[in-house]
Structures are given as structure tokens and as C-alpha cells.
Amino acid sequence: MKEPAGTGDGTIRLRGVGVSGGIAIGRALVLEGPDVAIFRLDLPPGKADGEVARFQRAVRRAWRQLRDLRDRVRNEAGEAYGRVFEAQILILRDRALHQETASLIRREHVNAEWAFHTVVGRYTQVFSQLGDQALRDRGTDIEDVEARVQAILTGSRKRHDLSELTEDVIVVSATLCPSDAAGLNRERVIGLAIDGGGPTSHTAVIASALGIPAVAGLRDASTRVRTGDFLVLDGSEGVLLNNPGEEETASWRDRRTRLAQRELDLMMLRDQPAVTQEGVRVRLQANIELVEELLAARRFGAEGIGLYRSEFLYVRKAPGFPDEEEHYRTYRELAENALPNEVVIRTLDLGGERYVSTLLERREPNPVLGLRGIRLCLRREDMFRTQIRGILRAAAHGKVRMMFPMISVLDELRRARAIVNEVKRDLLAQRVPCDPDVPVGIMIEVPAAALTADLLAREVDFFSIGTNDLIQYALAIDRGNESVAYLYQPLHPAILGLVRRVVDAAERAGVRVSVCGEMAASPVAAVMLAGLGVTELSMNPAAIPPVKQVIRAIRMADARALVEETLRLDTPAAIEALARRRVSELVPAEPAAALGSRP
Ligand code: PEP
Ligand code: MG
């Protein structure tokens, strides 16, 4: 079939965030945004109870729809996608949401649409104010649930039906809720361009699990593109072009072919071990935040989960907390589905840029240096114990390790371990099934912890170096501040020195050490880390194949020699340039530029 083409007149170039890799070239299908205006209507006297009943009927119907959708998606696409709707079902069943809506209807004598919208608005506002994009993305689920209930209440809004498409399209939309994304026809939808959202939204997770190129955060794309426009979308770089000319389109087609071939080559590596030329085994694991990401982890060949960030469990429940059963169920699912591999569950790391006001006593002037991670957990022991109980119980169902974030001093580690021991004793006394021998480790992400790694190593089972924060704290640059992003240099001699110190301390004490910061996702940095003695790396799932490719191409001796050579250099730029050059010599098929951007 002949592919469509653009004329090149007045090409529009839009930039967003690439959330699912790959290039799509084709015609646009612009979805209309939610179009129900919600009005406040005063109820006639005596009608409040009837209105509450109408609301409850709508919720029940929405619940049935979601359950059917979950079952259908589970059958068609697999267990993991079904779980997206599990999250929405939980939201819909949230008692506080029902009670607050019913009492608003009764108190103010208003219509159900308005009352529900007002109550949901309070929740979505909490999410929209969160500093962390990943957490903000969770708000989309609540909006999706609201749209469903409102559609039932008003009886007017037709939800998009993307399962009946008959030609290839790139879907362009202001927001694309998870139910729309899951309902799309995988044969026909070749790309997704979304105004809002971010890399960890459920929509992004689904797109990447389905292997559909997607760009989010495009701001006003849906108003600047018309259905039928000719588009090029690059889901790796986060670019959308509307109506590119023939020459430009031809070069994108070439790129697409090359990329597809490279993807194929990399995916062929999926079942190959990550082993160096002289036979040293390197363990490559995935960092995930949602249980459904396990699927992507498996698709890219991860050998288990090196970092499960448990924050979402809490954020989904904000302003409340998850209870023990929720912790247990989630971790058990993770542990069982990861088998025969292991899962490292990190205890709560809220605080800092992941500011959740309800957990803190007061607003902090410098939250990144404030009551974050283990500090917050030791302040809120009740909450911490609940999580530990959940982890120890789930550990009976798989290979689980437990890890504390943001440890800066031995006392914190000792206190946290004492709590784990107390919880263990309670569980055993109550005859609750659990694994009392769960290995306990810590993140090394505060420079003080790296510098005293030998003291900490005596009292842990493993270290995981969190370079995202280690770089932030060691180099004094806010990891989310674009103005100082140029100083974010993983190959800074200070960082290499800290990593070496931690690895040496771990080796002397005989404890495992891994790196789970994004630095591990860069093939060049991964070789440097291997040269420093790190043979366990955890990263976002899609980064695994290219890292595996370089690991299989190098010899450890060369990686060590490279590290020695770079340590004689004095600037991060010189180190990076040399490392890139050497790695591209070791992996000749790969031009240096393709080895990942800044690590
Ligand atoms: C890190 O700091 O490197 C890390 C992996 O943790 P997070 O990115 O969740 O802070
Ligand atoms: Mg961190």
C-alpha cells in the first residue's frame, strides 16, 4: 500500500516527551476532548435522596463497565493491562468519594453531576500540585473514572471507540484516558500524540507495553492538527511534525527502517545472557513503579526488578494511606509475577520533590533536604510498620528483598532494622505466614552514606547506589532544575570516586552492590560502572537491550583499563569524551552518538 505524504507547506514542529519509542508516519485522527459541560442545578425540596440514589446507580453501572473492560482487556492483551482498570475500580469503590458526594448532594441540595465533579476536583487538585510528574500522572485515572460516571449521569457523552478503525492512524488527543488507550485497535493505531500526560501515566505504560510509538506533553497539538493531516511522530525523541515535505519524510522513512532493524536486533538479545567476552555475568534488572510495568520489564529481558518504587501505592490513596492488605496484595502480585526472578521493594520515598502535604507537619523550605524517605518513615512509624508487614508477608510468595531509601547515617539503618525485627516477631507470634529472612539493604544516594559505606556495609545484605540523588547531592544541583542541568554529570570524577568507594566497601564486607540510578541506562556509563566493579545494573526496561549489547561486546579488563585511564583526566567532559570514544571502539557497529545521550 502506498504510504501517504505531506506537501511540506508550513510544516509545524511540536516537541513533547517521548513516552514510547519508535517512529510512526501516517494520517492523523484527532479525537474530540471531553465535551460535557457540568452545571450546578438546585434540587427541588425533598429530592436529595432520589439524587443520591441516581448517583449510586451511575457508580454501580460504571463499576460494571469497568469490570467488563478489565476482563476483556485481560483476555485480549494480558493480565497486566487488566490491572490498569483494577486501579480505576479501586478509585470507584473509594468510600470517601461516595460519602463526600452524597453528603454534598444532601447538604447543598445540588445535582449529582455537580457534587461528584466538585468532590473529584478536590482530589485531582491534590495530584496536580504534586511536584513529581509521575505522581501527577496518577490524576489521569481519577479523571477517566469521573468522565465515565458523568457520561452515565448525563447520558450524553459517547466515549471514543477506537476498536473499529479501518485504516492506519496516528491518534491525536488532548488527553487519552487509559480506557481509550486499551480499547484501541492495535493493528490500526500506529502512533499516539497526546497534549497532556507524562512518561509514567497509565496511557504511556499501555502504549509502551503494546509497542506503539507515543509522545505526551505536546500541549496544544490536538488544536493544531486536523484529522487527515499528514504526520511524523518520533516516540523516542518526543517530536511531532505536521505536514513535513517529501524530502524530510523520506529521511524519516529511512530512519524508521533503520530503527526497526536495530530494535529487532536488540530484541533478539532478549533471551541472551548479559555476559562479557571473557564470561563475566552482569545482572540487568528493571526499575518500575507500577505492577503492570512487569510486562515491559519481561519484554525487554529484565532479570527481575532491581527497584520497585512503592510511592504510587501511597499517592493513589492520598490523603489517606494504603492499609496492610493493599501493601500485601500489591507486593505479592509483584513477587509472584517476577518469579523465577527477584524483586527489590523500596520502602516509601515520599517527601523531597515528592511533596505530599498531608504526611508532613509543615511545609518545608527545602523539601529535598527535608523529611524525605527513611526520615519520614521513622517519623511516621505506624505507617512504616504497615508497609513492612505487607512486604514480609508478600515475601513468602517469591524472591523479595527490602530496601530503605535516603539512609545518611548508621542510626537510621539500625532503627529501621529494629522495626523490621519487631514486625517480624509480631507476625511470627501471630502465626501470620511471612518470610522472616528477607534480605535488607539500603540505597546509597546521600554522599555521607557513600563516604561511610564501610560502616554501613557491616549491617546490610546489599547496597543499591541511587545515582540520581547521589549526583544531585554530591554536585549540589537540583535534579529537576533545567538551569543547572548542564552540571548534571554522572561521569564527574567525584561521582566515579564515590561509586568506587562504595564498591570497595561492599566487596570487603561481602555484600551485593548494584546501581539503580538512570546512569545505569546509558551504555557508555554502564561500561564505566562495570569497570568500577558493578555487575548489577537496574534501569528503565527499554534501556536494557542497548546496555546488554555493549556488555556482551566488551571485556571486563578493557572496562577496568578505561576507568583507570579516565581517572587520570580532570574534567567530566574529557572523561565522557574518552569513554564514548573507547566504547565505540569496543562496540564497532555502534557510532558513539547512538550510545545514549548524556547518561
Ligand atoms: C536514585 O536516586 O538514583 C533512585 C533510583 O531513586 P529515585 O530516582 O526514585 O529517587
Ligand atoms: Mg533516590
Q: Whose CA is nearest to atom 3 of ligand 1?
A: 466
In what helix (H) or strand (E) does residue 463 lie, and over which residues does it extend? Answer: strand 462-465
User: Domain span at residue 106?
Assistant: 48-154
Confidence of residue 25 (pLDDT cuts 50, 70, 90): very high
What is the residue type of 412? E
Q: Which residue has the higher pLDDT, 357 or 554?
A: 554
Average pLDDT (563-568) is: 94
Residue 78 has pLDDT above 90, yes or no: no
Least confident residue range of 57-61, 316-320, 541-545: 316-320
Q: What is the pTM of this model?
A: 0.72
**Domain stop point among 154, 175, 198:** 154
Distance CA 229, CA 420 (A): 58
Percent of the chain's residues with pLDDT above 90 = 54
Instruction: Give yes or no for residue 516 CB within 6 A of ligand 1.
Output: yes
- Express each pLDDT in 392-451 by its tens digit: 999 999 999 999 999 999 999 999 999 999 999 999 999 999 999 999 999 999 999 999
Residue 37 has pLDDT above 70, yes or no: no
Same-domain pairing of 168 and 289:
no
What's the pLDDT score for residue 559?
Answer: 97
234's grid cell = 518520533
Please check whether residue 7 lies inside any domain of the structure.
no
Active site residues: 202, 516
Distance 82 CA to ligand 2 centre (A): 29
CB 217, CB 15: distance < 8 Å: no
Nearest to 550 by CA among 579, 571, 573, 574: 579
Nearest to 413 by CA among 463, 364, 368, 451: 463
What's the pLDDT score for residue 598?
Answer: 35
Q: Whose CA is nearest to atom 8 of ligand 1?
A: 468
- Express each pLDDT in 475-521 by its tens digit: 999 877 768 888 889 999 999 999 999 999 999 999 999 999 989 99
Please check whether residue 438 lies inside any domain of the structure.
yes
Strand partners, 482: none
- Express each pLDDT in 161-209 by its tens digit: 566 667 789 999 887 766 666 666 667 889 999 888 766 566 776 677 6
Distance 307 CA to ligand 1 centre (A): 9
Ligand 2 ion: residues within 5 Å (CB): 445, 466, 469
- Total number of domains in the chain: 3
- State the ligand closest to the CA atom of 467: 1
Q: Which residue has the higher pLDDT, 596 or 93?
A: 93
What CATH number does the domain containing 18 carry? 3.50.30.10
Same-domain pairing of 451 and 548:
yes
Same-domain pairing of 578 and 537:
yes
Average pLDDT (275-284) is: 97
Instruction: Give yes or no for residue 447 CB within 6 A of ligand 1.
Output: no
**Domain stop point among 154, 183, 209:** 154
- Express each pLDDT in 322-364 by its tens digit: 999 999 999 999 999 999 999 999 999 987 545 455 666 667 7
What's the longest Cα–Cα distance across the chain?
A: 83
Please check whether residue 180 lies inside any domain of the structure.
yes
Of 309, 344, 345, 499, the residue with max ligand 1 atoms within 8 A of its CB, to mutate for a pocket test, comes to 309
Least confident residue range of 144-158, 308-322, 585-599: 585-599
Same-domain pairing of 181 and 329:
no
What's the pLDDT score for residue 92?
Answer: 86
Do strands 462-465 and 512-515 pair parallel, antiparallel, or not at all (unpaired)? parallel
Distance 468 CA to ligand 1 centre (A): 5
Same-domain pairing of 203 and 342:
no
What is the residue type of 130? L
Ligand 1: nearest atom to the Cα of 445? 2
596's grid cell = 545514549
Q: CB under 8 Å to 242, separation ≥6 — which residues?
A: 6, 11, 12, 13, 14, 28, 224, 225, 229, 230, 231
Distance 181 CA to ligand 1 centre (A): 29
**Domain stop point among 211, 244, 277:** 244
Same-domain pairing of 150 and 168:
no
In order of 137, 138, 350, the CA distances from 315 in angstroms are 11, 8, 9
Ligand 1: nearest atom to the Cα of 405? 6
Q: Is the N-terminal amide bond of 340 cis, ω within 30° of 0?
A: yes
Helix (H/G/I), strand (E/B), else coil: 231: strand
